[in-house]
């Protein structure tokens, strides 16, 4: 278990209040919804079409809470993680109360939402599975109330759950802020440093012989003049989704770019719906999950529809 030491009585009181809010909210949610009847893929939710729909209302997307990630399912579809600030949209909101939550299918039924045990008292974000589902990447800082030194960590699947988090690699983590974005089919990890600053840049670290290699800085097709809030690269790296805004922090745009045969990327094409960032594909690649006043999902049919015929 990770323990973040509180400094002074004020921090101890804040820590106690945050824990009490988490415990109370989790119990209330379990009482309000009969999770013994929750079965089937994607928590038994009706899949969306080309129009985005709120995912799992009152289960994962809760009006009183502030969700701050996509819904991230394991490759076998039997486990889901997401980030939420319980009570984040109410007067009881506690700053720094963002936590990693999870549900799991056990004997054909989904468990009630609960904080992930390996980061129960830490402000963890951005869960991303490895291709085989045996590793889960997350990010957090040493202080649960702020993110000035956010780094990327990994937990390993064990016989009875998950291991304690460990730093992902000294080649990836640095004194700067590292933000986790996605992992491709070959294990390559895409991340960014110094977000929303003039030094912001995206990198990829390739998975080679069971370890991450020296990160490579991506080109201007990704590191543009805009602020890139998030990217999601296809498992085969044939296209990428980008959430970005201008340097004046204007409205967030959501675009797609396709890899050309020469390895460069096409011009960004705007997607037909708004996205708040933090996105993830479903295990079967049929749906896209993303954050926007709750967690939403939509069919990925737009990916083929927007692909230019003359791409070279």
**pTM attached to this predicted model:** 0.84
Assigned domain for 2 exists: no
Instruction: Return the higher-pLDDT residue of 34 and 114.
Output: 114
pLDDT for residue 299 is more than 70: yes
- pLDDT for the residue numbered 278: 84
Assigned domain for 307 exists: no
Assigned domain for 118 exists: yes
Assigned domain for 305 exists: no
pLDDT in tens, 143-169: 655 555 789 999 999 998 999 999 999
pLDDT for residue 7 is more than 50: no
Q: Judging by beta carbons within 10 Å of its beta carbon (0-12, 13-18, 19+), is residue 194 exposed, middle or buried?
A: middle
65: pLDDT confidence band, cut at 50, 70 and 90?
Answer: confident
Percent of the chain with pLDDT over 70: 79
Instruction: Return the higher-pLDDT residue of 67 and 104.
Output: 104
Place of tokens 């399912």: 73
pLDDT for residue 40 is more than 70: yes
- pLDDT for the residue numbered 256: 92
Assigned domain for 1 exists: no
Assigned domain for 33 exists: yes
Assigned domain for 306 exists: no
pLDDT for residue 280 is more than 50: yes
* Mean per-residue pLDDT, 176-181: 87
| CATH code of the domain covering residue 209 | 2.120.10
Q: Judging by beta carbons within 10 Å of its beta carbon (0-12, 13-18, 19+), is residue 180 exposed, middle or buried?
A: buried
The C-alpha angle with vertex 241 and arms to 235 and 243, in degrees rounded to 5, equals: 140
Domain count, the chain: 1
Assigned domain for 312 exists: no
What residues make up the domain containing 173?
A: 8-300
pLDDT for residue 191 is more than 60: yes
pLDDT for residue 125 is more than 60: yes
Helix/strand number for the chain, H first, E second: 2, 25
- pLDDT for the residue numbered 176: 85
pLDDT for residue 229 is more than 90: no
């Amino acid at each position: 278990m990770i323990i973040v030491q509180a400094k002074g009585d004020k921090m101890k009181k804040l820590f106690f209040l945050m824990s009490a809010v988490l415990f109370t909210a989790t119990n209330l949610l379990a009482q309000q919804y009969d999770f013994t009847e929750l079965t089937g893929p994607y928590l038994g939710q009706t899949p969306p079409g080309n129009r985005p729909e709120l995912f799992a209302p009152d289960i994962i997307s809760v009006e009183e809470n502030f969700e701050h990630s996509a819904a991230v399912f394991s490759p076998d579809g039997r486990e889901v993680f997401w980030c939420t600030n319980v009570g984040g949209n109410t007067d009881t909101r506690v700053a720094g109360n963002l936590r990693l939550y999870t549900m799991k299918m056990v004997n054909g039924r989904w468990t009630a939402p609960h904080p992930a045990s390996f980061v129960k008292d830490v402000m963890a974000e951005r869960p991303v599975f490895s291709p085989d589902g045996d590793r889960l990447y997350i990010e957090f800082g040493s202080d649960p109330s702020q993110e000035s030194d956010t780094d990327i960590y990994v937990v390993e699947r064990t016989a009875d759950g998950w291991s304690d988090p460990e730093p992902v690699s000294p080649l990836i983590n640095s004194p700067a802020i590292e933000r986790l974005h996605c992992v491709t089919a070959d294990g390559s990890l895409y991340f960014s440093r110094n977000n929303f600053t003039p030094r912001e840049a995206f990198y990829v670290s390739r998975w080679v012989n069971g370890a991450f290699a020296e990160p490579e800085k991506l080109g201007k097709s990704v590191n543009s003049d805009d602020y890139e809030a998030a990217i999601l690269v296809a498992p085969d790296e044939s296209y990428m989704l980008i959430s970005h805004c201008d340097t004046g922090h204007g409205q967030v745009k959501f675009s797609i770019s396709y890899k050309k045969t020469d390895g460069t990327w096409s011009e960004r094409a705007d997607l037909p719906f708004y996205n708040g960032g933090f996105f993830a594909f479903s295990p079967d690649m049929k749906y896209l999950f993303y954050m926007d006043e709750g967690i939403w999902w939509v069919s990925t049919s737009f990916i083929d529809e927007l692909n230019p015929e003359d791409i070279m």
